[in-house]
Structure 1
């Protein structure tokens, strides 16, 4: 495929313009401090908090030679901007990136191996699930920076109306199915559950069965394992066999969050980002852990990681800032202010949330496993999602669909 020279020229011009606009070429302040550039995707409130933390770090005597220059990018556009900047040699010293982007950057040989900076000595401070998303090809290539996961939201009013205890959500999948039959009234369009059908949203099922999707060395797809097949069979049974799931995953179906807010679905999986929305709607809801499978309760990992780029000249200083930023005391301050989940285990005993629902997510994160590490998680979903749908619609057995998924993943995803 031939490259369009006009497009390349435009990309270079765009990055040059961005750099000049952001004054990234300024490498030293008037008082002699060396500038470290940090590209991030925070919102307004987070950015204000970040500036406070940077100021505190810069005041420490050990950091008198450095200043952090935060540069804000739109989240939806941060991946192409970073790709282009790295291509033309104008990337930042460090950046906050979506968890799924770290693997691509690492395999472009763009990230510093944090083990060379001492990360192996402190890695156990970090929550396991987010930490695992940074372990690529035998090295830690990023630091967990912000995290979340999904848990089970349930409608207390609908539980009460079905004769169920509104303070006792299901703890196992057997309980979930039993309660689900009492909560479902298909004639009225009321269902116990509304679910999504993508890889990321299915990880609570797979993880609860102890199924790993990709081998640790990144060379094999493990979706055809007995554990993965059983997890997929359970998920499909909620719709096809037990008929307690609404088909929210189908084209034209009512999405889970909308169905929950409209009190058509008694239970959904979602994350802490929906707490303000559901609270404002006056729903009487509760939150429980994901129902336990044979391997216990587990969830998925969302959020962001921080990486240090090899092209920068000051790796140790960047590492010192990022480990300060994600230290227990700073994480506790950050998370209580912004109602977020700490990435540092030491912060768990320090945070006290006004919204007690957040405590459920703290507990859920303790048992959450890292997501599959692949160069393109988007491609993984494009390949696997249709195969999972064939199971839900009865076109294939779970064993056949997962076997076909393995072949396609190994051909199209693991070769990237």
Structure 2
């Protein structure tokens, strides 16, 4: 509850500000910028000199990125206003996930000087691993530090020190194809409200003759990312963070068992999900874009993907998640931080800070949002900055999408504590349950919890107690 209350208050505050004024892949560039906005002025940073410094940043846009043109323009503006800094924009190396690639690169001394994909739930582990530099000396002199939502800074502030600058935020919800709803005789303005209705609607949207299924379920290596929402809906969480900082595992508690039983039912009882439940998230999205999947979970910063895949926003619905047995369905809120490599030399760290300040400026955020407005792309309605109002850039998108994202922001929660370390333990149990029709769900969760307790939580709690 401590996590839920803090983040919800921050989001309600930003939505109130928006209303009065009237956020893909792992390697997605930080979303911030647009149109005719004036380029940010060069900033001063500690240790700045006239000597040109070269830094490496993993933020090169792929050629098919719909934002490539505006990002290239933003990069050029930085070059023009910061001639003493040369930025080597490169794509992150290939791998299972950008996080794994980043950690591997850092271990080999090949990590970037600045990195924008440190996720909210991971940054504390990254600080402990020594891959996130203490930004406090920069932050304390940062003119815009008070423009960031407290909820966006919560995970990056550790023992009074700041280790990350929020690049973006997002909110999760249920996305559905309005066109497929109509074809199935369903009201496109009435998405399912609870688990029972969700199963019924999913069945109506499943048509094997058309190779169409109701719901794209996430059973790949990130399965716990979406599964935790169902645990929340059942009234629990995957872990409890105690007042003394220790962690209690909740894998075997009733809400987790209930949630996993429901996932098993979606696959084996209702038969409304894809045949390959372990396919990756990009395949899920492609099924949704190509009208093979009628519903999926998606984030408030995914709307740009629809334009680049030829999907009209008029055919897309967004709603809060269906409630479970608890009668509740908080939306997960997350985001990414910019961090600086502790192994980079001081000149590179200073230059990296200047680059982060530029890319996170209101001008750059507005520039990207203007580009979205000009190209019919819905902006991410959540911004970590108080002075950035995405609602100003929504005149060309369906207003029901805007209203429903705002509604979903009223009840939110951060991901479960110690997620990055515990994922390898809970995910195999989830996958086995999805892939096996006759399975003892409670036993699988018990095995996962015992192993996670022995190898992760026990040592973690012991260290906290020192």
**Alignment TM-score, normalising by the size of structure 2:** 0.63
1:326 paired residue number: 360
Selected match of 1:125 from 148, 155, 178: 148
Q: 1: CA distance between counterparts of 2:93 and 2:411?
A: 29
Establish whether residue 111 from structure 1 lines up as the match of residue 111 from structure 2: no
The match for 1:238 among 266, 278, 285 is 266
Q: Does 1:344 align with 2:362?
A: no
Query: In the alignment, which residue of structure 1 is the partner of 2:224?
Result: 199
Q: How many Å apart are 1:147 and its aligned residue?
A: 4.3
Q: 1:208 Cα shift?
A: 4.0
**Partner residue of 1:401?**
444
Residue 160 of structure 1, aligned match among 171, 177, 182: 182
After superposition, what is the alpha-carbon deviation per residue over 1:243-298, rounded to whole angstroms, capped at 9, x for unaligned? 4334440579x953454345443222245153125535999443333324433341
Cα gap change, 1:187 to 1:86, in 2 (>3 Å): closer
2:307 aligned partner: 276
In structure 2, the gaps of 5 or more residues are 1-46, 62-67, 461-466
- How many angstroms apart in 1 are the aligned matches of 2:266 and 2:370? 37
**Contact (CA 8 Å) 2:321, 2:331: kept in 1 or not?**
yes
Equivalent residue for 1:62? Answer: none
Tell me which residue corresponds to 1:170.
192
* Of 296, 310, 326, the match for 2:329: 296
Contact 2:306 2:312 in 1 (8 A): no
> Cα distance 1:317–1:187, how it changes in 2: closer, same or farther (>3 A)?
closer
Distance in 1 separating the partners of 2:442 and 2:160? 30
SS in 1 for 2:346: coil
Q: 1:36 to 1:134 in 2, by over 3 A?
A: farther
Q: RMSD over aligned Cα, in angstroms?
A: 4.5
Offset at 1:47?
4.1
CA distance in 2, matches of 1:155, 1:368: 24
Aligned mates of 2:297, 2:155 — CA distance in 1: 21
Q: What's the counterpart of residue 433 of structure 2?
A: 391
- Kept in 2: contact 1:132–1:370 (CA 8 A): no
| CA–CA distance in structure 2, aligned partners of residues 386 and 89 of structure 1 | 31
Structure 1 position 327, deviation (Å) = 4.6
**Residue 74 (str. 1) matches residue 94 (str. 2):** no
List alignment gaps of at least 5 residues for structure 1: 1-27, 59-65
Structure 2 vs 1, CA of residues 194 and 288 (structure 1 numbering), >3 Å: closer, same or farther?
same
Rounded to whole Å, the distance in 1 between the matches of 2:289 and 2:390 is: 33
Counterpart-to-counterpart distance in 1, 2:210 and 2:103: 50
Shift of 1:199: 1.6
Picking from 72, 76, 82, the partner of 1:48 is 72
- Contact 2:422–2:452, Cα closer than 8 Å, also in 1: yes
Paired with 1:182 and 1:89, the residues of 2 have a C-alpha distance of 53
The alignment's TM-score, normalised by the length of structure 1, stands at 0.70
Question: Offset at 1:207?
Answer: 4.3
